[in-house]
């Protein structure tokens, strides 16, 4: 999985800080997502504790149709970028956990 991010500045009547991004999933990762029906897996939660962002949200972004975020406040944009990066780490951990979940092991104390 690769996260592609492009930063830019848009100057019109106001200055907007912009990020465009997409996640490139490998064929193996897409297979795991489909096989285990992970499209609806929550990736972010609102202040009320309810999920508002699911994995399928990221599946639609491609080079031709990237995700997009802009704001006049550069700190908000950077925080959003940080959240996207964290979400990608969570996605990768989820895919690793699901793909290696079956089996047995012994823990020695």
pTM of the model: 0.79
Backbone φ and ψ for 61, nearest 5 degrees, come out as -85, 125
pLDDT tens series, the chain, 109 aa: 999 999 999 998 899 999 999 889 999 999 999 999 988 888 777 778 787 778 888 888 888 888 888 999 999 999 989 988 998 999 999 999 998 887 777 889 9
pLDDT at 29: 92
What's the structural domain count of the chain? 1
Tell me whether residue 106 is in a domain.
no
DSSP state of 5: E
Question: Whole domain around residue 52: which residue ranges?
Answer: 2-93
In this prediction, residue 50 carries a pLDDT of: 80
Strand partners, 42: 54
Residue 99 in domain: no
Contacts of 8 (CB under 8 A, 6+ apart): 18, 19, 20
């Amino acid at each position: 999985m690769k996260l592609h991010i492009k930063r830019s500045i848009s100057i019109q009547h106001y200055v907007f800080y912009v990020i465009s991004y997409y996640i490139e999933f490998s064929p193996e990762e897409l297979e795991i997502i489909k096989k285990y029906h992970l499209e609806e897996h929550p990736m972010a939660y609102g202040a009320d504790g309810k999920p508002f962002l699911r994995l399928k949200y990221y599946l639609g972004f491609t080079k031709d149709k990237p995700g997009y975020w802009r704001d006049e406040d550069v700190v908000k944009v950077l925080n959003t970028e940080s959240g996207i990066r964290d979400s990608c780490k969570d996605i990768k951990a989820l895919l690793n956990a699901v793909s290696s979940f079956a089996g047995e092991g012994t823990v020695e104390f």
